[in-house]
A and B are shown apart, each in its own frame.
Chain A
Amino acid sequence: MLVSYKWLCEIAGINVSAHELAKMLTFAGLEVEGIEQVGALLEKVVVGEVREKTSHPSRDNLSVVKVDSGKGVVQVVCGAPNCPGPGGRVVLALPGARLGEMEIAKRKLGGVESSGMICSELELNIGPGHEGVLVLEDEISAPPGTAVTDALGLGDWILNIGITPNRPDALSHRGIARDAALLCQETFRPAPRIPADEGGSPVDAVARVEILDPERCPRYGAAVLTGIKVGPSPFAVRYRLHNLGIRPINNIVDATNLVMLEWGQPLHAFDLDELAESKIIVRRAKAGETIVTLDEVERELSEEDLLICDAARPVAVAGVMGGEHCGVTAKTERVLIECAYFDPSSVRRTSKSLKLSSESSYRFERGIDPSMGPDVLAATTALMTELAGGKQAPGFIDNHPKAIEPHKVSFRPERFRQLMGFAAAPKEIERILSGLGCGVKKRGESFEVTVPLSRPDITREVDLVEEVARIRGFEDVPSTLPRVRCLPPQRAEFDAARRVKEIMCSLGLQEAVSYSFVSDSVLEVLGCNRDVVHIANPLSSERKAMRTTLVPGLVESLKRAQSRFLPGIAQFEVGRTFHESGRELPHEELKVAALVSGPVPGWLGDAPRSYDFYDIKGIAEAFVRQTTSAKLRLLPGDKVPYLHPKRSVAVFVKDVNLGNIGELHPEVAAKLKLSRGVCLMELSVDELWKVKRKPEAAALPEFPPMTRDVALLLDEKTDAGPVGEALAQACTDLGQKVELFDVYTGKGIPAGKKSLAFSIEYRAPDRTLTDKEVDDVHRRAVDEVIRRFDAKQR
């Protein structure tokens, strides 16, 4: 909310600098997010009085004006049609004056010398008016030569205050001024306005108000002014509104806005002569009923919406926006001013369903002070008659079917001490609460506090504790450390994710973090589009589906890297995937995925190569081995659709399928515009942690090993794994370790064959083995394998 420092000081009766005030407010919970000086430093811009105005000798649209600048008469060429004649007073920028980017200098216009410029509001940045030059009103009495900043009282600071939703009272200058006065240790006593002149028939005789829904409209007040003259507001009013971000319209509308900014009460002015039967009816809309609002949009309403109607038709959406009919126009002579209290959630629902928010709905939905109606109406009629003339029809209408009682809350200073960790003196508590407008009565150790209706946020003791703490400031609250109790930890998931990340980093991969939402199309391409959870209001269709796999994020990283001329990545991600479960909340699973693609980092002279299946396999093996001593098995079958059917395997630990590793399916790669050879792993951390077993230390052997090697000639399509396993089985308990150390095809090997070389380590736990013993076992094992696999020994 934009706030005028000058106005604030005026209402609060305080005298501090703008920056000091900003700091005070910020540390009392009204955060000043910006502070801007306005109207200052308009040097060489002065009040001028026109002495003579003649037509320009050669240009029809210009006039030549002689202006008294206080220090002599200067000649200025002026293009504005409203430039006044002799006696008229204007704002004159003399040579050397700076107006924004523009510097005023002497120059010739159509051959006539011009030594300055007569300015418009826009040129001075003091208002929106640019249709003509600013002509000073008679009320502004400053003589020619007076600096315009002083003459018009332009100097001010505009504070931009972030008002939290609990402080509807601070959506007004008076609300903020109350805090400001209290913070400056001043009594809040704003000067009352002189009431408007009354005349003519009493208000009850000229207008009637009927409330048909007291729940949504507990109070509706109104006043009527007659004989008004609608026109532009005086400069001071326009200037204030301009600075506070509201466009001046006419004196009646400007007055309602100014009062709203002062009091926080939204008002609406109707042309009384346009209201059928001079009557206001507050009722709920009929289903499908429509109204064209001021912004010229036709709105369809539901039975939940509250309407302001005359005897014939709706004229406003209550608390949100006026309708196209019955507004104030240049011809209006009698106005009815609405000053109502509408139920906050009702206004909010209507504003939400119509997707229509206004200064008015913003305040109503946060809750205005329902008790201020009469005072606000009095202030409004006073200001309006001052600006637009006329008289007030005697009296006010105050339809008040449902009373709203102030909250009574008891406050224990001991509770304050308990919550804040220090004691506040009862005297100070009393001072602060009364300063906030509360009624405070002492009852034994406690206070009985009546909360003003301007503070709907205060309903409990803790709210009062907050108020006292806020005004005192948090600065001198002591800092202490709480007593700690030891509790058994319950942090399995957190630890799992962390451990996984640490292991993956130790395997040489970088951790990636990607958005959890992806496009439906990428899930479809990957074949992972079952049980997808969707966002109802996504930021874009690319971010509509919750990921069911971590692969899209890593694929995105690879593509981004390639677009930045980086050949590949070696990254992993640990995160949740989301799966429709049929229950209230989707199933979330913690997974780890890795993607390696592109050249493998090598050392000097290493033959360059790209990541392949065996790299991702090595990563998966190392990863699982670092988390569990349970045996890892990689089996074909249980394929995932996005992996190459012959270059992928499922990862099992203790018969639990943790996920898969392999090369990206070439067709999927093509659809994703990636080249072949992208290697992936995706495993469920949740599943792994269920079966995980701490690695255990093996007993160290006491006796030396003996090693025997064997090279076997096999069919090219025979996999090495089963051969090794068969060897391990056949070499009895003495064969402790079987290691494949060479795979060879080429020279010396017949076509369609390959050579596998294994090394077997023999060892007994209780004695040193003899050569013969080992040779026998080894021979039998090799023969067994030769038989089973139709192999030949090389």
Chain B
Amino acid sequence: MEPRQIIEKLGQLAERYEAELGQASDEQAIRAGQAAYLGNKGEVTALQKLMKDIEPKARKDVGRALNQTKERISKATDKALGEINQRRGREYLDRHVDLTLPGRPPVGVGAMHPLSIVMYDIVDVFVSMGFDVATGPEIETDYYNFAALNFPQDHPARDMQDTLFIKEGETLLRTHTSPVQIRTMLRRPLPIQIVAPGAVYRRDDDPTHSPMFFQIEGLLVDEGVSFADLKGVLEAFIHEVFGKDVKLRFRPSFFPFTEPSAEVDIQCIACKGEGCRLCSQTGWLEVLGSGMVDPNVLQEVGVDSERYTGFAFGIGVDRIAMLRYEGISSIKLFYENDPRFLSSFRR
């Protein structure tokens, strides 16, 4: 064929292809149509094979025409495919589905989150000792989270908890479950004996800290409640959760809302006190903070602190869960919700 003829033929092919495209109704037809032109045995490909016999002078023109044709065909194909896709999208949005058909009965093996499992186990221990369960908002006022709990304004004690504020100085994400103490004492008559589980937040994000974690607050206020009672109750709790032979020790510490305050360590459950990696060779693990409710807190909620005394404690659920289930290498795993991780735990 003459070069001029080839160029003419190419133009005709492109036009014919575009006309045929209009007829194609689905992706398959379009792809087949395109192959008939550009495929190995396609008509355009057949013309391309003639290139080698064309005199060098004309080769450039034919080459250009070839490329333009191929491009024209490809573009037309893409456009048609895009339209079909759009149409299919519209169809997917418009297609009638009978939503009144009955739902499929669910089957499968579910699993509660390890933090929930541990939280309910802990709460159950206290409930069986006579504690009720209270809750409170996760976004709190400065008053309930700090001021009423004897954290004075401008006091370094406020640095102990790095806070996420909604409105600085007014509202915040609660940094502990302790505001539930205040809310409960304001709402319920004495005596009070509650635990308050829930999410808490700190502005802390590193391999060993999660900005959100779970705590269980405990509060018992009545006449004649003493530190010895606090010891007794927490011992009973630890023995129930970790076993009767686990030793505990109480270390003096400081929390603004309790006085005296104590941190509680348990004998390392991995090495039984011998010293290992889990307990940083100390033989002990810090598990909770506690103390006698500070009279300032009682007075703040209108409780006669001479007549009534009480104790409070705060347990880190994440911490207990990591001690109870082996192999949880990072607190972050609790919040990643990997299905394989979530299916690992049972009560």
Contacts and interface: CB of A to CB of B under 8 A. Distances in A.
- A-B interaction: yes
Contacts of A474: 227, 231, 249-252, 262
A176 to B, nearest CB: 14
B82 interface: no
A115 interface: no
A498 B235 CA distance: 26
A588 B135 CA distance: 12
Interface in A712-732: 716-717, 719-722, 724
Interface in A453-479: 460, 462-463, 465-466, 469-470, 474-475, 477-479
A482 to B, nearest CB: 4
Interface in B222-237: 222, 224-229, 231-233, 235-236
B203 interface: yes
Contacts of B116: 501, 511, 513
B226 A480 contact: yes
B43 interface: no
Given A165-B159, A533-B166, A536-B168, A721 B100 contact: yes
B228 A535 contact: no
Contacts of B339: 510, 561, 566, 569, 571
Contacts of B139: 533, 546, 578, 585-586, 588
B338 interface: yes
A666 interface: yes
A646 B212 CA distance: 37
B337 A646 contact: no
B33 interface: no
Contacts of B141: 584-585
A510 B110 contact: yes
B103 A513 contact: no
A17 interface: no
Contact of B222 (A421, A485, A615): A485
Interface stretch (B23-31, B44-52, B253-261): B253-261
A491 B132 contact: yes
B106 A511 contact: no
A46 interface: no
Interface string A731-745: 000000000100100
B259 A508 contact: no
B337 A647 contact: no
Contacts of A109: none
B110 to A, nearest CB: 4
A646 B104 contact: no
A509 interface: yes
B53 interface: no
Contacts of A788: none
B342 A666 contact: no
A472 to B, nearest CB: 10
Interface stretch (A295-303, A385-393, A537-545): A537-545
B211 A511 contact: no
Contacts of B229: 421, 480-482
Contacts of B137: 585, 588
Interface string B100-134: 11111111111111011000100100000110111
Nearest to B305: A462
B108 A508 contact: yes
Contacts of B95: 646
Q: Select the residue from B116, B157, B203 with max chain A CB neighbours within 10 A.
A: B116
B104 A617 contact: yes
B167 A536 contact: yes
Given A516-B212, A614-B101, A560 B228 contact: no
A717 B96 contact: yes
Given A508-B107, A537-B165, A564-B338, A482 B232 contact: yes
Contacts of A365: 156
Contact of B337 (A506, A514, A615, A740): A514
A408 interface: no
A491 B171 CA distance: 25
A494 B342 contact: no
A592 interface: no
Contacts of A504: 110
B173 interface: yes
Contact of B342 (A463, A512, A533, A613): A512
Interface in A482-523: 482-487, 489-491, 493-495, 498, 501-502, 504-517
A557 B337 contact: yes
Interface in A114-164: 164
Contacts of B170: 584
B154 interface: yes
A196 B171 CA distance: 55
A178 interface: no
Which of A478, A487, A648, A724 has most chain B Cβ within 10 Å? A487
A395 interface: no
A479 to B, nearest CB: 4
Nearest to A512: B337
Interface in B245-281: 249-254, 259-263
Interface in A628-674: 634, 636, 644-649, 666
Nearest to B211: A539
B100 A719 contact: yes
B300 interface: no
A543 B211 CA distance: 10
B157 A165 contact: yes
A535 B173 contact: yes
B326 interface: no
A481 B133 contact: no
A399 B303 CA distance: 44
B1 interface: no
Contacts of B212: 515-517
Contacts of B57: none
Interface stretch (A26-34, A186-194, A308-316, A702-710): A26-34
Contacts of A507: 106, 108, 110
Contacts of A575: 199
Interface stretch (A80-88, A214-222, A619-627): A619-627
A722 B133 CA distance: 45
Nearest to A472: B252
A513 B113 contact: yes
A31 B253 CA distance: 8
A487 B221 CA distance: 13
A388 to B, nearest CB: 34
Contacts of A646: 93-97
B63 interface: no
Nearest to B184: A490
B292 interface: yes
B335 interface: yes
Interface in A436-452: none
A716 B97 CA distance: 10
Contact of B252 (A469, A511, A536): A469
A566 B252 contact: no
Nearest to A634: B99
A743 to B, nearest CB: 7
A349 interface: yes
A339 interface: no
A54 interface: no
A345 to B, nearest CB: 4
Nearest to B144: A585
Given A509-B108, A585-B137, A348 B156 contact: yes
A576 interface: yes
Contacts of A534: 166
Interface string B197-229: 101010101000001100000001010111111
A498 B105 contact: no
Given A474-B231, A618-B105, 15 more contacts: A29-B252, A345-B154, A420-B226, A420-B228, A465-B259, A475-B250, A482-B232, A507-B106, A515-B335, A536-B166, A537-B203, A556-B337, A588-B139, A614-B104, A615-B104
Which 6 pairs, one residue from A and one from B, show the smallest C-beta to C-beta distance?
A508-B108, A721-B100, A421-B228, A421-B226, A618-B103, A617-B103
9 contacts: A469-B260, A483-B224, A515-B211, A536-B166, A560-B336, A585-B139, A585-B141, A613-B99, A646-B96
